[in-house]
Amino acid sequence: AFARLAEERTLRCEAEHKLRQTAAHLQQQIPSEERDVHGIGLQDDSNGNALSRFSSYRATWGCQSVPDTVQSAQMPDPLFFSATCTDIVDALLHGVSYLDFARVECPRTRRTVQTMMDLLVHPRIGGALVAIAEPEAFSDVFADIAGGSDRSVARASIRTCDEGYMNDRLRGVHISDKKFADALRDFAMHTEGDRWPDDYPDEEARGRPKDGAFLLSTSGYRVNCSVKLLGLQPAGRWNNV
C-alpha cells in the first residue's frame, strides 16, 4: 500500500511539474510586447487578450494531459518459492542467485552457520532471532558493544532483556558445546508469559523474560544474548513517504 501511494504521489508531482514547465514555455511564446517588461507576469489591461490566450492554453493542456485520478503503476507479480530446511541451509552456505544470497566463503563461518541451523530446526527448539557476523561488524553497528565505533555516528543500540543472564550463562561456551544447545533449547521453549519458569533448576533464571536476539561471532561464540536491537536503519526507503 505504501509503495502504491508513493508511486501515485510521484506521478502526480511529475505531472504538476510538467504542467508548470509547459505553462512557462507558453508564456515565453507570447510576444514580448504583450508581457510585462520586468517579466513578473502578464499585464491585465491593454494586453488582456494575451492573458486570455495564455490561460486557455494552460487549461487545455491541463484537461488533456492530467487525469482526474492518477492510476497505480503496474507492479510485477510476486514470486513464491517452496523450500525445505535443507534448501535454506544450502542457500545460506552456497548462495542462491534468485534469492540474492551470497556464498559464505569462510570455512569457520560456514561451520557456525551450519551448526546454528541444525539447532534451530531441531523439533525441541522453538523460534529464535540469531545474527552471525564478525565482532567488528557488530561494533560498527551497535555503539554500546565493547569496542564500538564513535557513539556520535552509530545510531543503533542494544538493550538487555534479562539483565545479562544469558550472557553470563553462555560466556566462553562454543556453539558446538552441548551446554549451548541446552541453553538455547530452554530459552526458545515456549512458557507461560514467555518467562523462565519459577521452578527452573537455575534460580538465577527464574522469572526473567525469554526475549531478544542472539548475536554470535563467526567463530561460534556469543557476542550478546537476549538483547533488544534498537534504532536499526531500514535497508531502503521510499522518497516522499
Closest CA to 133 of 163, 155, 108: 108
What distance in Å separates the CA atoms of residue 104 and residue 87, rounded to the nearest whole number? 15
- Cross-strand partners of 93: none
**Residues in contact with 79: Cβ distance below 8 Å, sequence separation at least 6, in sequence order:** 98
Percent of the chain at pLDDT exceeding 90: 32
Most confident of 35-44, 133-142, 206-215: 206-215
Give the closest residue to 146 by CA, choosing from 59, 215, 223. Answer: 223
At 182-208, the pLDDT tens digits run: 999 999 988 888 899 999 999 999 999
28 contact partners, CB below 8 Å, separation of at least 6: none
Q: Are 169 and 175 in contact (CB under 8 A)?
A: no
Grid coordinates given for 21:
514547465
CA proximity to 112, closest of 200, 223, 239: 223
- Per-residue pLDDT, averaged over 38-56, amounts to 39
pTM of the predicted model as reported, rounded to 2 decimal places:
0.60
Q: How confident is the model over 161-182, as pLDDT tens digits?
A: 999 999 999 999 999 999 999 9
Q: What is the pLDDT of residue 127?
A: 80
